[in-house]
Structure 1
Amino acid sequence: MSQQALDVTHRLVSSPAGRIHLVEQGTGPLVLLVHGFPESWYSWRHQLPALAEAGYRAVAIDVRGYGRSSRPSGIDAYRMLELVADNAAVVEALGEESAVVVGHDWGSPIAANSALIRPDVFRAVGLLSVPYAPRGGPRPTEAFGALGGEDEEFYISYFQEPGRAEREMEPDVRGWLAGFYAALSSEGMAAPDAPGPFAVSRGGTLRDRFPAGLPAWLSEDDLDVYAGEFERTGMSGALARYRNVDRDWEDLAEFDGAAITQPSLFVGGSLDGPTLWLADAIKAYPSTLPGLLSSHILDGCGHWIQQERPTETNKLLTDWLATLPA
């Protein structure tokens, strides 16, 4: 589905970030869609028409730092509390009192924390790829540092220093995105002896581990949409999310171990890194997501769930939404 083929409305609304760009389609109860890294509202291109046809007002945002949304200069402007405030501001700007929030990749913890912090606004939460794990444990950068070794560095640690990852990505944004999307797709994750783009060799780059070619779910036109956005904005706004993990840990101390009680949904992929790493978090759902109504692992699916498996994802979303109280 091309960007031009989508019958959507683009809008800019005020938020604590300054402005949030959003795309909407349909009428009915509001469903707010929150993308991850390194994407944009366009990652929900298959869900917008499906949700609209099912009777919902589907709204996909550009998270602050991405696309046509504001890009504050300070790194601390990308802390979780600010992103939750953006989501609540979008709901208010759209003239709604409540919404269902659904997120993928980084959008999943943004959606989860939106439900946790603002239960008065977000009545249900859908999580794709990244399971909900309550705040707790050691300082995140310490935990991520321990995942590296003498010869390798965990990718989130690699992302911490401002400018470092940008120097790898920005000289060839289109090529870098193509490789990253391919590496985390089912084809890349299932390839024999695939190193996976989750660690960086000392002195190397993530790109050293990318496969060649595009994954089956991504067309050249789709890649052009993503590349065009990041060639214009640069990568720093997107990477700032990773640079706030310790601030989030501090900011959310009052929610240590907290459960999300609203009705919830989880969808992961059997070849999806975050879903696999956080298997213990999924096992803990009876206590951490007591409102869980639906949980699924899509066999053979990689990280980009709603793009790799749009038909299955759309059905899971609409079936779940249909069970929610009006």
Structure 2
Amino acid sequence: MTDRLTEVTRDELTLDLLDEGPLDGAPVVLLHGFPERATSWRLVAPLLHAQGLRTLAVDQRGHSPRARPRGRRAYAVQEFARDALAVVDAVGGRAHLVGHDWGAATAWVAATLEPQKVATLTALSVPQPEAFMRSWFTSRQGLKSWYMAAFNIPRLPERLARDEGGAMERLLGGGFGMTPEEVARFRREVVEDGALPGGLGWYRGIPFMDRSLLGRRVTVPTTLVWSDRDAAITRAAVDATPRYVDAPYELVVLQGVSHWIPTQAPEAAAEAIIERVLGS
């Protein structure tokens, strides 16, 4: 049995953690996406604890106050993945990875970088990264991903997020399905806390993705959870994902759920995670 972890340091960046559940339980590392924080798992984590699992929800780089580096290159997805693997090392060298949105992309990459450290992978909303990128040119995914280019415009997203009830909040609520409570949490935990530039770093770091990651297969047991009212992710990218997984794989499709699975369908998210973790 190990002690509680409150932080993990890598490359002089310190990531804050929410370490909860039974200390002797199988460790599950929870990786949030944009524009959220570790608290996005607050409804899922207790359901995992009830099954004897220990959760470590990470405030990822750009979000933790002591892990907000400057420069786009610092936000390449492989850096997030290595951060996640540093958390795995700190908790004992092997863990289950669960990610939502950009946290899912992080988990996919981590599982290809050091598969021996990843017991299982559960990705919520976002398919395997190469399947996602290729779908831009074979489906409507490129059109649905217009915001990724917009978020790369210097200072524009920050300006749009400046006003409460402004364009950024209308996009998240009206366009992408966040509830008023979730939008308020975005303002409080991301905008007002100074984490927005770091969160946008995920998008601004895309050109610096390590190209050697392309073509790699995932070799750990994997579940992808996708919801049919996701305004950001098409079914084409989802259906292409099994081509990149050389391991037991399951697709779970949630009906009538938007992109924000951990907060809007926590029971379904927890069920998929528990089945993958305990059934593998």
For Structure 1 versus Structure 2, the TM-score category normalised by the shorter chain is 0.7 to 0.9
Q: Is the 8 A contact 2:95 2:118 kept in 1?
A: yes
Distance 1:260 1:90 in 2: 20
Structure 2 unpaired stretches of 5+:
none
Q: Which residue of the partner structure matches residue 232 of structure 1? A: 193
Q: Which residue of the partner structure matches residue 266 of structure 1? A: 224
Structure index of larger Rg: 1
Distance 2:78 2:213 in 1: 12
In structure 2, the residue corresponding to 1:273 is in which secondary structure? coil
- In the TM superposition, 1:51-62 aligns within 5 A as 51-62=48-59
**Alignment partner for residue 78 of structure 1, among 60, 64, 75?**
75
Percent identity over the alignment?
27
Change (3 A) 1:227 1:127: same
Structure 1 unpaired stretches of 5+:
1-8, 186-213
CA-based RMSD:
2.8
Deviation digits for residues 36-82 of structure 1 (CA, Å, limit 9, x no counterpart)? 11000011001111111111111111110114451011221111121
1:105 and 2:130 equivalent? no
Pairs aligned (count) = 271
Change (3 A) 1:10 1:223: farther
- In the TM superposition, 1:185-264 aligns within 5 A as 185=177, 215=179, 219=181, 223-230=183-190, 231-248=192-209, 251=210, 253-264=211-222
- In the TM superposition, 1:79-94 aligns within 5 A as 79-94=76-91
Whichever residue aligns with residue 156 of structure 2, its letter is R
1:300 and 2:261 equivalent? no
Q: Which residue of the partner structure matches residue 164 of structure 2? A: 172
Distance 2:147 2:121 in 1: 27
When normalised by structure 1's length, the TM-score is 0.75
**Alignment partner for residue 313 of structure 1, among 248, 258, 269?**
269
Distance 1:13 1:174 in 2: 35
Distance 1:268 1:12 in 2: 30
Change (3 A) 1:238 1:31: same
1:113 Cα deviation from its structure 2 partner: 0.1
When normalised by structure 2's length, the TM-score is 0.86
- Deviating beyond 6 angstroms after TM superposition, the runs of 4 or more aligned structure 1 residues are 135-138
- In the TM superposition, 1:272-283 aligns within 5 A as 272-276=230-234, 279-283=235-239
**Alignment partner for residue 16 of structure 2, among 6, 13, 21?**
21
